[in-house]
Amino acid sequence: MVFDFGYRLKNLRQQHHLTQTQVANRLNLSKTSISGYENNVKTPSQDVLIKLAGLYRVSTDYLLGLDDEEMISVEGLTRQQRRLVEELVRMLQEKT
């Protein structure tokens, strides 16, 4: 199966309930650029790729198809909450 960058980008945008215009405004880009990325007509620069990853809270590797696992943001959690999340992940990994 061939990786489709535009599909992944569009899917992330829809998961976050954003329009192309909203993404463009948040990243200070044109709607045409966002549409071009999602339709695989344009390729984002490294800077834009980093901004997209930050907006959707995923790694650039995930955006580029080098990694199929999305990241989970622990931003805003307390130290204790982060430890609980880490422990839960460890427990789930041990069961598989």
Tens of pLDDT, residues 28-44: 999 999 999 999 999 99
Assess whether pLDDT exceeds 80 at residue 68: no
pLDDT of residue 65: 86
In this prediction, residue 96 carries a pLDDT of 61
- Residue 1 pLDDT: 52
Domains of the chain listed by start with CATH number: 5-71 (1.10.260.40)
Q: Quote the crossing angle between the two packed helices 46-56 and 5-15, to the nearest 10°.
A: 40
pTM to 2 decimals?
0.70
- The per-residue DSSP string of 37-65 comes to HHTTSS---HHHHHHHHHHHT--HHHHTT
Report the pLDDT value the prediction gives residue 12, as an integer from 0 to 100: 93
